[in-house]
Amino acid sequence: MRLNLRVIIGLIMAAVTLFGYYFNTSKNEVTGETQHVNMSADQEIALGLQAAPEMAAQYGGLSPDTRARAAVEQVGQRLVQANQLNTRTPYKFQFHLLADDQTINAFALPGGQVFITQGILKNLKSEAELAGVLAHEVGHVVGRHSAEQVAKSNLTQGLAGAASIASYDPNSPGSSIAKAAVAAAIAKVINLRFGREDELESDNLAVKFTAPAGYDPRAMLQVMQMLQAQGGRSSQPEFMSTHPDPGNRIQQIQQAIAQQFPQGLPAGLKQ
């Protein structure tokens, strides 16, 4: 009877988790995609603003180079304005250059807080390459990838918890712990897969965002080549990495450029 009760509780938890995920949907006005999210745009903005100081501190704070910081902000805002993202979305975009000159990284927090390190900036050879990096991060914000990840994480963790309760055997606690670990590992793999898909979608959005701002999207290919040269290829299989291999991203970006500009790129783009 106790076993049946645990199974029933587990099934109820799973049903509530699934219901909460699949019935919380929102249409993305920029991408046209219907997404499963469980937070509003205002909540995304507040979360990003709250997390920004801590994230900046992890990379030594903002760069002391005020001219470079202004240049990053200028290029970022040019992308936003050229694509009307300041009116088509509710997000308040800000672009920050971090002091860390050893780490090659760029990331975006929900709501429009975009960061790049001095380490990646010093390896970029043109303004167009900088625009490509920033446009990719803008793609994460516009794609609401953080909100999606939160919803997906809640889904997989909720299902893993339900499975743990339903399968718990008081006569064999070691077996139950192992089952819970397997469930957690499955949840992690699922979320890693979502992360790779987000990266590829952001590459596609970056191709779309750079040209209207006057930048050649092919500069993104040079960024990928730089990442490869700097050790962008992970020693672990791509399947277990949240970022696709730069070599595979090169092919994806080339395909996106061909699809979005079948008649060729506009003339006069900055390279």
User: Mean pLDDT throughout 156-179?
Assistant: 48
The secondary element (H helix, E strand) that includes residue 40 is: none
d(CA 104, CA 87): 31
> What value, to the nearest 5°, has the Cα angle with vertex 33 and ends 28 and 39?
45
Between 31 and 87, the more confident residue is 87
The 106-109 sheet, strands edge to edge? 94-98, 113-117, 106-109
3-state secondary structure of 155: helix
In the structure, what pLDDT confidence band is assigned to residue 115 with cuts at 50, 70 and 90?
very high
Cβ atoms of 21 and 86 within 8 Å: the answer is no
3-state secondary structure of 110: coil
The secondary element (H helix, E strand) that includes residue 143 is: none
In the structure, what pLDDT confidence band is assigned to residue 146 with cuts at 50, 70 and 90?
confident
What are the pLDDT digits (tens) for 191-243? Answer: 445 477 888 899 999 999 999 999 999 999 999 998 888 874 444 444 344 56
What are the pLDDT digits (tens) for 168-202? Answer: 445 544 444 444 444 544 444 334 454 778 888 99
> How does the average pLDDT of the chain come out, rounded?
78
- Residue 18, judged by CB atoms within 10 A of its CB (0-12, 13-18, 19+), counts as middle
Q: Among 25-39, 125-139, 208-222, 247-261, which is the least confidently predicted range?
A: 25-39
Closest CA to 266 of 204, 210, 203, 206: 210
In the structure, what pLDDT confidence band is assigned to residue 41 with cuts at 50, 70 and 90?
confident
d(CA 161, CA 167): 10
d(CA 83, CA 70): 20
